[in-house]
Every structure is written in C-alpha cells, then in structure tokens.
Amino acid sequence: NDSTASTFANNSIPPVGFGTASWPFGESGEILKESILTAIELGYRHFDTAAVYQSEQCLSEAVSQALDLGLVKSRGELFITSKLWCSDVHPSRVLPALRNTLQKFGLEYLDLYLIHFPISMKPAAGYLVPFSQSDLLPMDFKSVWEAMEECHKLGLTKNIGVGNFSSKKLKQLLLTANIPPAVNQVEMNPLWQQKKLRKFCEEKGIRVTAYSPLGAKGTLWGTDQVMECEILKEIAKSKGKTPAQVCLRWVYEQGVSALVKSFNKERMRQNLEILGWTLSPEDSQKIDQIPQQKGCRGLEFVSDGGPYKSVEDLWDEPI
C-alpha cells in the first residue's frame, strides 16, 4: 500500500472548513461568491465543494479574488476539496470529471477528491438534483477506485477519499485498494454521532470529516432538529456560547474536521470561535446520551430496481 495519499500538509485538515453546498444547488451565485470571500477574510482555509453543488465556479472566482486582494498569498494556503458526482462514477469518466473540475477552478491540483456517494448513475443523468431513481446503478468499487488512484498518481489531487460510505462499503473498497481512502466525509453532529463508523475509520487510518455539523436545516438532506435540541441549548446557555458553537466544539473534541456553511458574516465568525474553551465532562456525557436520529436519509438513492432497496441497504445500519 502507498500510504502517501493519507498524509496532509502539516498533517492536518483545518478543524473548521467552509461548506459551499447551498440549496437549491446553483441558485445563489453572487451571494455564495461573496460569502466565500468573506470566509477567506475571516480565516477559513478549507473549502468544500462538489461537481453537483454547482459552486466550483464561485469558489474559483472567490479564490482568484482573494489572491488578487492579498487575503492569501498563494494557493498552497488553501485546502480545497471537491467530489465526483454519481453520473461520473464510472471508471472511464473519473479522470475527465476531475480534469473538468480543475479546469473550472483554473487549478492544477485539488487537495482532496472524494467519491460523493457509493453509487453510480447513468451518465445522462448529469448533475441534476433531484434525479430520477431509474438512473441509479451499482458502483463498480474496484475499477472506480483504481481510476481515483490514477488521479492521485498523476498529481491532480493530493489525496483521494470517499463520502457517505458505511464500514461495510469501506471494507469492500479496502479489499482491492492500493491506496486507502484518506477521508470518509459523512453526516456527523450530536444527533448522529457515527460512533461505530468513526471507530472503524480510526482503526483503518481513514480520517472522518463531518458534513451537516449543525444539521443543515432547510436543505434536501438536512433537519432543524440539531439546532432545536434542548440539551445543546442548555449547554450553550451555561457556557455563554451558541448551540452551533457547542456542536462544532463537540465535533472538534472528537478529532474530526467539520464543514460548516453560513452566508452570514456574524455566524461565520462565530463558527470559527471554537478554540480556547472546552466542553466539561458532564457536557460531553449529556451529548453522548442524546437520542440518535439521522438527518440525511438518502431516500432518493433507494429504489426497487436500483442497487439499494432500502435506506438500511444504503447505510448498512438501522435508520
């Protein structure tokens, strides 16, 4: 195994990254671009995008502008993640998809390239969401991962990884992988803590990054339950923090990097202020006891004729 793919500059991903998935995808161009620029100004250095979010172009423009303005001195100061969408989850489409992403960015390399979901779609499905369930196809784990490894070998991405993979699906991938995935990006917040999956990933040296750390309310995949959680509100009040900060601090204390999205400067600033204070053991214990409920069920990936017949098939655990 070539383990160089799982080493990051300074051996770390910034603890709080900026998510650029705004729902509905592709509808908030200028606001998104302005927000990214503000985020760079405030100190965010990790940016998460995906072909399907239609935010690669905005991110690219914001990064160019930030360089022009001297907010960052070089591309190397930023950690940029993008993702291969399901309609490109075919061995022959991986490299062209990454090249297309890089071209949109005007970048020579990504820091991290992820397979967005453990599923494939007919190429004609393109990047439209919602998509038709009749487009769903099983993913060829071995050959698609080989194509991802090729992207790494060509230097087009410093690291390769996956998103939304269960332990079972990771095991299947690892059976034939020469380069293990550096990252598994999954939903993670106090209401969906992913304890078992995190333990598995730790054992395998796969870093977990957290999407929807605040529950991503108002999106197709989100829930307002996280921000409405009474336990989190109580802890926040007792600490003079906000429930969002409690969520992000909790994720940080688990050793996981979070990808948080906000278009509001004050909240963006607030979301970075998670260092220099801690949750008490009592706080952590209370969070540990929160009843678990998944926000992103992924029903749109489930169909009788497709590779996953139920949400349990998709996530390989009771939902």
Residues making contact with ligand A2P (CB under 6 A): 19, 212-218, 227, 242, 244, 260-264, 267, 270-271
Nearer to ligand A2P, 215 or 298 (CB): 215
Q: How far apart are CA 206 and CA 76, in angstroms?
A: 23
Least Å distance between CB 92 and ligand A2P?
33
Nearer to ligand A2P, 147 or 248 (CB): 248
Least Å distance between CB 211 and ligand A2P?
7
Nearer to ligand A2P, 182 or 244 (CB): 244
Cβ within 8 Å of residue 294, ≥6 positions away? 187, 192, 315, 319
Please confirm, yes or no, whether 53 is among the known catalytic residues: yes
Q: Tell which residue, 101, 83, 181, 94, has the closest CA to residue 140.
A: 94
Nearer to ligand A2P, 173 or 272 (CB): 272
Least Å distance between CB 82 and ligand A2P?
17
- Find out whether 116 and 94 touch, Cβ atoms under 8 Å: no
Least Å distance between CB 36 and ligand A2P?
12
Least Å distance between CB 94 and ligand A2P?
27
Least Å distance between CB 244 and ligand A2P?
3
Nearer to ligand A2P, 268 or 314 (CB): 268
- Find out whether 125 and 135 touch, Cβ atoms under 8 Å: yes
Nearer to ligand A2P, 108 or 266 (CB): 266
Q: How far apart are CA 280 and CA 91, in angstroms?
A: 48
Least Å distance between CB 219 and ligand A2P?
7
Cβ within 8 Å of residue 246, ≥6 positions away? 190, 232, 235, 236, 239, 279, 283, 287
Residue type, 74: S
Nearer to ligand A2P, 6 or 245 (CB): 245
Find the catalytic residue in 53, 113, 252, 308: 53
The catalytic residue positions are 53
